[in-house]
Amino acid sequence: MRPRLYVLPGSHPCVAVEAALRLKSIDYDRVDLLPMSQLIAGPLRYGGSTVPGMRVGRERLVGSRAIMRRLDELAPQPPLLPPPGDPAYAPVLEAERWGDEVLQSVPRRILDVGFLRRPAAMESYAGDAKLPLPRAVLRPALPLTARLMALKNRANDASARADLAALGGQLDRIDAWIAEGLLGADAPNAADLQIGSTIRLLMSVADVRPLIAERPSARLARYFPPLSGEIPAGVLPPEWLAAPAPA
């Protein structure tokens, strides 16, 4: 049964799942949703109000971790996790969990604040998405969409500044996992995809990119195609970017 994947353009957990599908050579259909429309369409189409969502026949799956576990059942090779009993099994699961539950929201809040300051930048993240409405029709609604996204994700200047202050410690943790060999192998595991997709999205914010570019963490972005979207330099205040504190 050919899976159908529901995504939002630019969504990093969606990008992680698409990378897993390509890695396993699983053919699939992609449905691009408009920002915020997943709150209504998601429960009807795939049983949830967040993305990614997937349908495999009548089966409905929500969330990148649940989908990746199912992909390992549909196509066991190459595996996204070490085998149970392998010393790396539990650490990879924990890194994936941390990437999903802790790190994943960081770029979401930072980008939302960037979009509030520069709504036009949002369009660049659509890339090759096949949206249900022409972009010229959607363009006037970008400022309102940015405000709604920020409300949904509880993003504001204070949250973005706090995320940036904690980013240095979070990158230290990722760099340590790479040094241990837990992340960064030629063949990515589930944690590589979960965390790497977030690093890739963070690096699309030109003001944030220098905080990451020279670190080992930046290499995790290589598992994904180049990102078309960018929030240009100068959108975030420079005082937000000085000397990130450990997490």
166-187 confidence digits (pLDDT tens): 999 999 999 999 999 999 999 9
In a domain, 196, yes or no: yes
Asked if 34 and 66 sit in the same domain, the reply is yes
Please tell me the number of Cα atoms within 13 Å of 134 on its side-chain side.
2
Indicate left, alpha or beta for 155 from its phi (over 0: left) and psi (-120 to 50: alpha). Answer: beta
* Local confidence pLDDT in tens for the 247 residues of the chain: 899 999 999 999 999 999 999 999 999 999 999 999 999 999 999 999 999 999 999 999 999 999 999 999 999 999 999 999 999 999 999 999 999 999 999 999 999 999 999 999 999 999 889 998 999 999 999 999 999 999 999 999 999 999 999 999 999 999 999 999 999 999 999 999 999 999 999 999 999 999 999 999 999 999 999 999 999 999 999 999 985 444 4
- Cα–Cα dist 122/141, whole Å: 11
Closest Cα to residue 180, out of 48, 69, 87? Answer: 87
Overall number of domains in the chain: 2
In a domain, 150, yes or no: yes
Of the residues 44, 74, 104, which one is the last residue of a structural domain?
Answer: 74
In a domain, 45, yes or no: yes
Asked if 98 and 160 sit in the same domain, the reply is yes
Asked if 184 and 113 sit in the same domain, the reply is yes
At 114-151, the pLDDT tens digits run 999 999 999 999 988 999 899 999 999 999 999 999 99
Asked if 46 and 140 sit in the same domain, the reply is no
Asked if 57 and 110 sit in the same domain, the reply is no
In a domain, 79, yes or no: no
In a domain, 131, yes or no: yes
- Cα–Cα dist 94/136, whole Å: 43
In a domain, 211, yes or no: yes
Question: Residue 100's domain is classified under what CATH number?
Answer: 1.20.1050
Between the CA of residue 112 and those of 25, 30, 158, what are the distances in Å? Answer: 33, 24, 12
| Cross-strand pairs, 53 | 6, 62
Domain that holds residue 93: 89-241
Residue 243: predicted pLDDT: 54
- Cα–Cα dist 27/148, whole Å: 34
Asked if 34 and 68 sit in the same domain, the reply is yes
In a domain, 184, yes or no: yes
Asked if 105 and 141 sit in the same domain, the reply is yes
